Amino acid sequence: MPNTRKPTSDRRRCKKCNRWAQFGSEYCWDHDPTVSDEEKHAARVRGGKASRKVHPLALDEIEDIADTTDLKRFTVSVIKGLVAGTVKPNQARALFTGGKVLKDVMELQLYEQLAERVSALEGDTAKRLESNGEWQISDRS
């Protein structure tokens, strides 16, 4: 059965390599005959210089992310790095993912602490009831 679906885009594929062609052309940028070899070389040099300008986020600003305040500060520093161009979007995504993992770990620690406190309160309540000779808590509902 032939494919009768319409393409979702008006874009074409490059005749030589099947990558996306440039708009108004049948070729991708690399194979476009209207782009000279000098232009391609200059663009690659510019790209190499630009990638060397991007530096990892200075994480020494935050020695340890121990609580939500540190996590907020970390998040703000990543956002500022994105705006300033010192952090690549892919780096920011990885850092935000790491931040989310840290947040989840902090929540888990909080839940564990709360569970310990509830257990301790239940134990204290049971001891009080036992010392008062009461074994059941009346249902007041």
Q: What is the pLDDT of residues 76-117, one digit of tens each?
A: 988 988 898 888 888 889 989 999 999 999 999 999 999 999
Question: Residue 7: inside a domain, yes or no?
Answer: no
> Is 80 exceeded by the pLDDT of residue 2?
no
pLDDT of residue 133: 64
pLDDT of residue 129: 77
Q: What is the mean pLDDT of the chain?
A: 80
For residue 53, the number of C-alpha atoms closer than 13 Å in the C-beta half-sphere is 10
Mean pLDDT of 4-17: 70
Confidence of residue 23 (pLDDT cuts 50, 70, 90): confident
Rounded to whole angstroms, the Cα distance separating 15 from 31 reads 9
| 73 and 121 fall within a common domain | yes
Rounded to whole angstroms, the Cα distance separating 102 from 36 reads 49
> Is 70 exceeded by the pLDDT of residue 35?
yes
pLDDT of residue 5: 53
Confidence of residue 138 (pLDDT cuts 50, 70, 90): low
| 82 and 31 fall within a common domain | no
| 67 and 119 fall within a common domain | yes
pLDDT of residue 87: 82
CB 103 within 8 A of CB 65: no
Task: Write out the residue range of the structural domain in which residue 66 sits.
Answer: 56-128
> Is 60 exceeded by the pLDDT of residue 122?
yes
Question: Residue 102: inside a domain, yes or no?
Answer: yes
Q: Catalogue the E-assigned strands of the chain.
A: none
Rg (CA), the chain: 30
| 25 and 70 fall within a common domain | no
